[in-house]
Amino acid sequence: MSRLKLILFVVLLVIGGCGTADDEGQDFGDLFLGIEGVVLTEEEHPGGWGRSDCVACHPIAEIHRVDRTGMALPLEDIREFVEEEGPDSCPICHGDNGVEEW
C-alpha cells in the first residue's frame, strides 16, 4: 500500500509541477513517509532534483504552515529559521537535492 502512495505522490508532483497553495500551505502529504523521510530523493522529486532554487517552486510564505506529520513539529520556529536563513536552510532537513554545492 505504501508503494502505491509513493507512486501516487510522484505522479501528483509531476502533474502539478510548481503551483500555488491555498491558505493551508503546500500539501505534499507527510514527507516523513517518503523513501528517505524528509530527505529528498531524485525518485520523489524528479522535477526539482538538482536545483538549488527551492523557493522557485516552494515559496517561503507557503511552506511549513501545516504540520502534516502528526508529530507536533515546532512550525513557528521552523518558519522563523527558514525566513532568516532562506534557501540555504533547506539542505539541513531535506538533504542536498542532488546539488553539489549550495
> Which DSSP string do the residues of 63-80 spell out, in sequence order?
SS-S--SSS---HHHHHH
Instruction: Give the start-to-end residue ranges of the domains of the chain.
Output: 2-94
b/e sequence 4-17, b meaning 16+ C-beta within 10 Å: eebeebbeebeeee
- Quick one: pLDDT at residue 78? 95
Q: Are 62 and 24 in contact (CB under 8 A)?
A: no
**Which region holds residue 75: left if phi is over 0, alpha if psi is between -120 and 50, else beta?**
alpha
- Quick one: pLDDT at residue 46? 93
- Quick one: pLDDT at residue 71? 86
Q: Please, is 86 exposed, middle or buried when counting C-beta atoms within 10 Å of its C-beta (0-12, 13-18, 19+)?
A: exposed
Supply the pTM of this predicted model. 0.66
- Quick one: pLDDT at residue 52? 92
Per residue of the chain (102 residues), what is the pLDDT tens digit? 566 555 655 544 444 444 444 456 677 777 778 888 889 999 999 999 999 999 999 999 999 998 888 888 999 999 999 999 999 999 999 999 999 876
